[in-house]
Copies of this chain bind each other. A is one copy, B any other.
């Protein structure tokens, strides 16, 4: 059992899959000699060679499109977006070409697009985005957002083995901040489409994912101590396909639900989750489903502004108390 960071876990996951399966190869900007902007692929070029670790021009549409073409031919490309924000430059290729390939043309397109996402890092409007919501309404894609080192490793491995395109959004705030002891000789494969109960509780449920899981756990701890409230925290892990069973189970258990995400509120993923809860467990609700999300503005740079715009632990505490009192 070695202590590994979230970043190291991603690294290990990709490494193991490349060792296991010669069809897996990497495409991205500065991923070779440099090892990627955040060093996720450090050492890969030396180990796997320039044919499997390909430095590309600055051309996200070409990276994603080329990955799709290679995937059709039986390879298993893993694309890095240097910052996930730039996935916007491949939006057409991902939504119109990649996502539809199997349905319209029976073309298998097993590929992964991954990259550093998320805020709380003073990255400003173009190095802090959470693009989940932009792809949630595209049939044909899968979306995963690991919160723990274990899932970071387990989900990248499952994503690479998946027969369909998977968007893997890793949170750069977690890269080196969290550590976890992972078994050295156990193969970790987190199933895509399955949520995880991060904390058991009975009074209020917080449904969330990625870095927000930690704020939820902190808030749960605080209201436990200060209010004696028992809060369940559900870490969705996969957003598409969504784990309805797990969502409805926690709703039926607590009847009070908070959905928390880092992205802006309007049009965010919480809307979809609310609709599913409303649809599947309406009678179980003792209070309105509430959302804690970022304010509806582009994410500003200054710490005072970023901290105000993004949800903080205290906000979750407020929201949980409000629900408990309702």
**A residues whose Cβ falls under 8 Å from a Cβ of B:** 85-86, 88-89, 91-92, 95-96, 99-100, 103-104, 125-126, 133-140, 240, 242, 263-264, 266-275, 278-279, 282, 285, 287-291, 296-298, 300
Most buried by B among A88, A273, A275: A275
Chain B contacts for A285, CB-based, 8 A: 282
How far is B274's CA from A279's CA once the two chains are assembled, in angstroms?
A: 10
How far is B263's CA from A103's CA once the two chains are assembled, in angstroms?
A: 17
B279 and A290 form a contact (CB under 8 A):
yes
Given contacts A88-B96, A278-B288, 16 further A-B contacts (CB under 8 A): A91-B134, A104-B125, A134-B137, A137-B263, A137-B267, A139-B264, A140-B298, A266-B272, A271-B271, A271-B275, A274-B274, A274-B278, A275-B289, A279-B288, A282-B285, A282-B287
Q: A271-B275, A298-B104 are in contact. Are A264 and B92 (CB under 8 A)?
A: no
B291 and A275 form a contact (CB under 8 A):
yes
Q: A95-B88, A279-B290 are in contact. Are A103 and B298 (CB under 8 A)?
A: yes
- Among B92, B267, B273, the residue within 8 A (CB) of A136 is B267
B126 and A137 form a contact (CB under 8 A):
no
How far is B147's CA from A75's CA once the two chains are assembled, in angstroms?
A: 46
Chosen A-B contacts, 19 in total, with CB atoms closer than 8 Å, are: A88-B95, A91-B91, A103-B298, A135-B267, A136-B267, A137-B263, A137-B266, A139-B264, A139-B266, A140-B298, A240-B266, A242-B266, A268-B272, A274-B275, A274-B278, A278-B278, A279-B291, A282-B285, A282-B288
